[in-house]
């Protein structure tokens, strides 16, 4: 008979109780942070001096940031992803950002011995048989996996090897379920926003991240889409080595570049003022490339990379931009893709009535608690789904008393739309961090129109939203009015042609039908319609 191995039994018991220990730690710490803020709100409300109030808030944010940092750092796993979301200069207090940004790529690394065991089990060969060189020290470690640089035997190709942390899936799914309960409590007591639906979608998306075969397929699909739809892809996407992909191991080409957060330091090393005109132009170009790629993915394809946090973006020579880590991808159904396209146009044009129609089409249900409902809906849409910051602001403070989220309760938020929301929030944080204030809605407007036209969905025309462009034969184009035109130019005896933009009706899309040649132009003219 074998003797009892008390150490082994102790380890198994400890492992089985680990999720309970994490749950207990989370609830104790999260409750402490939350109640601390609620009691502080009462204290600060008794102070009348605005300057003193602000000083008090800054001190409390520093204290809370310290607690949040250690909660995320000690628990790791999913809470490192929470730190990424909270460490956005446009969304969180500056004290939070300063403290939490250091956590974004500092997950504890798995020891090399454990990495080697996973690799050899998954690939069926020893490391020495597959790789000519393999760096034992990881390039980086994140919540789910870590990456190592290596060189493949035979073709001498430099690659990155992504290896999943052993046992992480069980812990992270426990974490997300705790967060769901906390979100449900917050939703019932403090924040009138459908947080529960958002956390349900997070649970689904996080679950997908543990399947590296799915990630490899997503990477190749996005890479092909961007390369086929552009003369030059706006971002670089690593190539996958298909014979070196399993559920827990992913091998892809190595792309040389610097993390986007190090861009300012790299410019300074090269004698470029990080705040000068050259740097500003470079930042604009970088953000333009990233944003253009996302506009195409979301609006034209509906299948997109949903994790543009700074750790996943490299600046390469050129300068070109590389987009890494395709664990979080999302495919929108056509009704949501086209509904979001309609919302993009509404935000770009500042059309409050159209925002209301778009929300209805998307299944985003709101209840207004203010008089100027439509304007607040527009503000809410731009807070959630546009990157542009209001003039003079660097922090949105979405849960302040003056915020549209406080004035309009979001009772139902489509789960599948969360990835779009998260992507826009991360893009906005990126732009604010780089000191560039731009509107993704403005940049994506043309793409949104093209997506609606390509869908072939028909609507009723709204005469009040018709844009007239009359041309003479001297300045008319013979083919069409630009690549993104809604209508091909038509030729009649009285006018060369016009371009119509038809407003949303039941389907909230554009009418792509051409006007028949026998349209009575004189009737349109008699209405004295402006250009």
> 405-457: per-residue pLDDT in tens?
667 778 888 888 999 999 998 899 899 888 888 899 999 999 999 999 998 76
Rounded to the nearest integer, the mean pLDDT of the chain is 80
What's phi and psi for 500, nearest 5 deg? -110, 140
Please give the distance of CA 145 from its chain centroid, rounded to a whole number.
Answer: 20
Please tell me the predicted confidence (pLDDT) of residue 416.
Answer: 87
Q: Note if the bond before 139 is cis, omega within 30 degrees.
A: no
pLDDT of 33 strictly over 90: yes
| pLDDT confidence bin for 396, thresholds 50/70/90 | low
Please tell me the predicted confidence (pLDDT) of residue 405.
Answer: 65
Please give the distance of CA 456 from its chain centroid, rounded to a whole number.
Answer: 28
Instruction: Give the C-alpha distances (Å, rounded to integers) separating 308 from 179, 326, 337, 419, 425.
Output: 22, 10, 19, 11, 9
Q: Angle, to 10 degrees, between the axis of helix 352-362 and the axis of helix 373-385?
A: 60
pLDDT of 530 strictly over 90: no
In whole angstroms, give the CA distance from residue 328 to residue 326.
5
Q: What is the pTM of this model?
A: 0.74
pLDDT of 218 strictly over 50: yes
pLDDT of 505 strictly over 90: no
In whole angstroms, give the CA distance from residue 323 to residue 296.
14
Mean pLDDT over 462-477 rounds to 33
| pLDDT confidence bin for 275, thresholds 50/70/90 | confident
What's phi and psi for 5, nearest 5 deg? -95, 90
| pLDDT confidence bin for 346, thresholds 50/70/90 | very high
Mean pLDDT over 179-202 rounds to 81
In whole angstroms, give the CA distance from residue 298 to residue 308.
13
Q: Roughly how many angstroms between the first and final C-alpha of the chain, as a whole number? A: 95
Mean pLDDT over 159-173 rounds to 92
List the one residue out of 107, 155, 148 whose CA is nearest residue 127.
148
Percent of the chain past pLDDT 90, that is, above it, reads: 43
Widest pairwise Cα distance in the chain: 103
Contact between 510 and 455 under an 8 Å Cβ cutoff? The reply is no
Contact between 188 and 136 under an 8 Å Cβ cutoff? The reply is no
Among 72-86, 327-341, 389-403, 490-504, name the one with the lowest average pLDDT: 490-504
Exposure pattern of 226-235 as b/e (b: 16+ CB <10 Å)? Answer: beeeeeebbb
Mean pLDDT over 148-161 rounds to 94
Q: Where are the alpha helices (DSSP H) in 210-305?
A: 212-228, 263-269, 277-295
Q: Which two tokens stand for residue 242?
A: 């298909």
> 91-113: per-residue pLDDT in tens?
678 888 888 877 766 678 899 99
Instruction: Give the C-alpha distances (Å, rounded to integers) separating 70 from 63, 81, 121, 512.
Output: 11, 14, 34, 55
397: left (phi over 0), alpha (psi -120 to 50) or beta: left
Q: Which two tokens stand for residue 246?
A: 């399993």
Please tell me the predicted confidence (pLDDT) of residue 332.
Answer: 95
Please give the distance of CA 530 from its chain centroid, rounded to a whole number.
Answer: 40
């Amino acid at each position: 008979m074998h003797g009892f191995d008390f150490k082994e039994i102790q380890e198994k018991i400890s492992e089985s109780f680990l999720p309970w220990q994490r749950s207990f730690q989370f609830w104790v710490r999260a409750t402490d942070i939350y109640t601390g803020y609620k009691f502080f709100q009462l204290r600060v409300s008794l102070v009348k001096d605005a300057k003193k109030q602000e000083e008090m808030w800054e001190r409390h944010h520093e204290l809370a940031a310290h607690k949040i940092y250690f909660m995320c750092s000690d628990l790791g796993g999913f809470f490192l992803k929470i730190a990424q979301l909270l460490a956005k200069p446009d969304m969180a207090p500056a004290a939070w950002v300063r403290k939490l940004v250091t956590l974004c790529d500092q997950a504890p690394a798995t020891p090399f011995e454990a990495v080697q065991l996973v690799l050899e089990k998954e690939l069926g060969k020893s490391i020495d048989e597959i790789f000519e060189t393999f760096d034992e020290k990881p390039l980086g470690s994140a919540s789910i996996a870590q990456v190592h640089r290596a060189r493949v035997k035979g073709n001498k190709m430099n690659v990155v090897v992504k290896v999943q942390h052993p046992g992480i899936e069980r812990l992270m799914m426990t974490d997300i379920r705790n967060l769901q309960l906390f979100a449900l409590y917050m939703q019932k007591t403090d924040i009138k926003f459908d947080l529960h639906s958002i956390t349900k979608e997070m649970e689904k998306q996080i679950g997908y991240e543990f399947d590296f075969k799915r990630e490899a397929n997503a990477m190749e699909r996005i890479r092909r889409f961007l390369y086929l739809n552009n003369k030059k892809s706006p971002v670089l996407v690593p190539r996958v080595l298909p014979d070196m992909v399993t559920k827990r191991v992913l091998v892809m080409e190595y792309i040389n570049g610097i993390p986007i957060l190090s861009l300012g330091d790299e410019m300074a090393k090269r004698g470029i003022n990080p705040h000068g005109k050259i740097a500003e132009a470079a930042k604009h170009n970088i953000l333009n490339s990233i944003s253009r790629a996302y506009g195409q993915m979301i609006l034209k394809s509906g299948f997109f990379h949903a994790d543009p946090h700074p750790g996943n973006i490299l600046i390469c020579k050129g300068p070109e931009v590389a987009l890494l880590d395709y664990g979080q991808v999302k495919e929108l159904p056509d009704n949501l893709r086209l509904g979001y396209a309609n919302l993009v146009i509404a935000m770009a044009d500042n059309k409050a009535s159209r925002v209301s129609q778009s929300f209805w089409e998307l299944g985003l249900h709101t209840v207004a608690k203010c008089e100027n409902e439509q304007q607040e809906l527009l503000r809410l849409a731009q807070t959630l789904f546009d990157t542009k910051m209001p003039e003079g602001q660097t922090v949105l403070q979405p849960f302040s008393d003056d915020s549209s989220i406080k004035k309009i309760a979001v009772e139902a938020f489509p789960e599948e739309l969360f990835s779009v929301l998260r992507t826009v929030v991360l893009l906005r944080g990126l732009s604010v961090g780089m000191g560039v204030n731009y509107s993704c809605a403005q940049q994506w407007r043309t793409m949104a129109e093209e997506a609606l036209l390509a869908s072939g969905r028909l609507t009723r025309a709204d005469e009040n939203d018709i844009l007239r462009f009359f041309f003479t034969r001297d300045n008319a184009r013979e083919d069409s009015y630009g690549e993104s035109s809604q209508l091909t130019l038509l030729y009649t005896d009285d006018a060369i042609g016009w371009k119509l933009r038809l407003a949303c009706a039941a389907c909230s899309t554009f009418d792509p039908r051409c006007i028949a040649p026998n349209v009575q132009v004189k009737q349109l003219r008699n209405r004295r319609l402006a250009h």
